[in-house]
A and B are shown apart, each in its own frame.
Chain A
Amino acid sequence: MNEAEITEKVIALITPYVKNRDALVGISKDTSILGDLGVNSARLVDIVLAFEDAFNIEVSDDAADSITTVGDAVALIGKLVA
C-alpha cells in the first residue's frame, strides 16, 4: 500500500469524527486532527482503533499519543504496515 492510498484511507476514517467540517476542504498532512478538525481526544482514540481495524495493525499507547496531524497518522501507519 503506497502513501497516497494510506492518506486517502486515513482521511476517510477520520471524516466521521470531524466537527469542523470546513477544515476538510483544505485537509493536508499538516492538518492538526485535534486543533484544526475539532476532533476531541476520546474520538481520537476511536480513530486510532479504526486505523487498527482497517490496516490490521496494532498501535501502542505511546505511538497513539504521538499522532497530532494527518501526516503523523500516515507516517505511523506506513511504518506499521511495511
Chain B
Amino acid sequence: MPLPWTSRLALRVQRALSYAGFVLFGPVLMALYRFRFRFSAHAVKQIRAEYRALRAAHPGPLLICSNHLTLVDSIIQAVVLGSLWDYLKHPASLPWNLPEVKNFYQRWSWRLVCYLGRCIPVQRGASPQQAKLVQARMHYVLDRGDAIAIFPEGKRSRDGRVDDRDFSYGVGQLLNQIPKAQVLCVYLRGMRFGGFADFPKIGERFYLQMQMLSPQSAAKGLRRARDLSAQVVARIKAMEADYFSARASGQLALPDGR
C-alpha cells in the first residue's frame, strides 16, 4: 500500500520535532531513569559500544526485536542502547516505537510523549486497511534507514518468559515487505526483580543482550512471514536461556553479588 504524501510529510515532521524535542527532553528522561527511578544497566558502556558498532556496520533499516515484559520496555531499551550523545550524533539509531493506542493514547500528555518519542500507534484488532496503513508507515521510516523497535511476541509475556508458541507474525510480514531490513534480536530483563509488570520496580538493574540475525525461508507470502517470525522468536528464547543459565551459574551477578 503506497503511503499518501500527507502521511509521509507527517512522519518527516514528527522525526524532525522528535529530534528537537530530544535535545530538550532527553536529559530529563535520562535524569528520571537515573535519579528518580534509580535504574541502572549491567555493562552499559559495552552495550552502547556494541550498538554503535552494529549501526556503523549496518546503517540501513533495522528491526530491533525484543522480548516484552513491561509497558516501558521500549524506553528502557533505548536508554540502555545509546547515550544522549549517541542519539544526537546518529538520529537514525534512536528507534521508532509501536505502542498500542489503548495503553498510551488516552491522555494528551502521553500522546505528546509518544509523538516526540517517535511512536507509530498501533491498534490491536484493527481492520486490514488500518493495519496496512500502519505497515506502510513502518515501511516508510525503515526505507529511510531508521530503526524500529518491535515485540515479535505481539504482547507482553504474562508468565515472564518468551512465548515461542503463541506469537504474532508482524515481524515476518515486515521482513516480507522490506527484505533488506536487518534484524537485531534483543533480550532485556530486570536482574533484581525481572518478570511481567506494568512498570519496573525502583532500583531495577537491567540486563541487555543483542545478536544480529538473518532469518531465512524458501517459502513465500504468509508461510514465509511465519517462518521468519518463528526464527526471530526462537533466537530471543535462546538468549533468554543464556540469561538464566548465566544467572544460575553465577557468571552474571548484581553488583552486590546476588
A residues within 8 Å of B by Cβ? 34, 40-43, 45-46, 48-49, 52, 58-61, 64-66
A-side interface mostly: helix
The total of Cβ contacts below 8 Å across the A-B interface reads 33
CB neighbours (8 Å) of A65 from chain B are: 128, 132
A65 to B222, alpha carbons, bound, how many Å? 11
CA distance in complex: A26, B186 (Å)? 44
Min Cβ gap A45→B in Å is 5
Q: Does B225 contact A (CB under 8 A)?
A: yes
With A45-B225, A49-B223 known, 6 other A-B pairs at CB within 8 A are A42-B154, A42-B167, A42-B169, A59-B221, A61-B221, A61-B222
Instruction: Enumerate chain B residues within 8 angstroms of A43, measured Cβ to Cβ.
Output: 166
Would you call B154 and A48 a contact (CB within 8 A)?
no
Report A-chain residues with C-beta under 8 Å of the C-beta of B226. Answer: 45-46, 49
Our pick among B125, B132, B223 for the contact of A41 (Cβ within 8 Å) is B125
If A41-B168, A42-B167, A42-B168 touch, whether A49 touches B222 (CB-CB below 8 Å) is: yes
B residues sitting closer than 8 Å to A (CB atoms) are: 125, 128, 131-132, 154, 166-170, 221-223, 225-226
List the 4 closest A-B pairs by CB distance, nearest first: A65-B128, A42-B168, A45-B222, A42-B169
Q: Within 8 Å CB of B167, what residues of A?
A: 42
Chain A: minimal CB distance from B2 (Å): 15
* Chain B, Cβ-Cβ closest to A48: B222
Give the CA-CA distance A48 to B132 in the complex, in Å: 18
Cα–Cα, bound, A60→B176 (Å) = 13
- State the Cβ distance, A44 to closest chain B Cβ, in Å: 10
| Minimum distance in angstroms from B155 CB to a CB of chain A | 9
B-chain residues with CB within 8 Å of residue A58 when the two chains form the complex: 221
CB distance from B134 to the nearest CB of A (A): 12
* A7-B166 Cα distance, complex, nearest whole Å: 26
Nearest A residue to B128, CB-CB: A65
Closest to A53 in B: B223
List chain B residues, Cβ under 8 A from A48: 222
Given the complex of chains A and B, what is the CA–CA distance between A64 and B128 in angstroms?
Answer: 10
* CA of A42 to CA of B154, assembled, Å: 9
Task: Give the distance in Å from the alpha carbon of A71 to the alpha carbon of B194 in the complex.
Answer: 45
Contacts of A40 in B (CB 8 A): 154, 168
Query: When chains A and B are docked, how far (Å) is the Cα of A52 from the Cα of B226?
Result: 14
A59 to B128, CA, bound (A): 16
**How far, in whole Å, are A45 and B168 apart by their CA atoms in the complex?**
9
* 28 sample A-B contacts, Cβ–Cβ < 8 Å, listed by A number: A40-B154, A40-B168, A41-B125, A41-B131, A41-B168, A42-B154, A42-B166, A42-B167, A42-B170, A45-B169, A45-B222, A45-B225, A46-B226, A48-B222, A49-B222, A49-B223, A49-B226, A52-B223, A58-B221, A59-B221, A59-B222, A60-B221, A61-B221, A61-B222, A64-B222, A65-B128, A65-B132, A66-B128
Q: A40 to B165: give the CA distance in the assembly, Å.
A: 13
A42 to B169, CA, bound (A): 6
Q: Do residues A34 and B222 form an inter-chain contact, with CB atoms below 8 A?
A: no
A65 to B132 alpha-carbon distance, docked (Å):
10
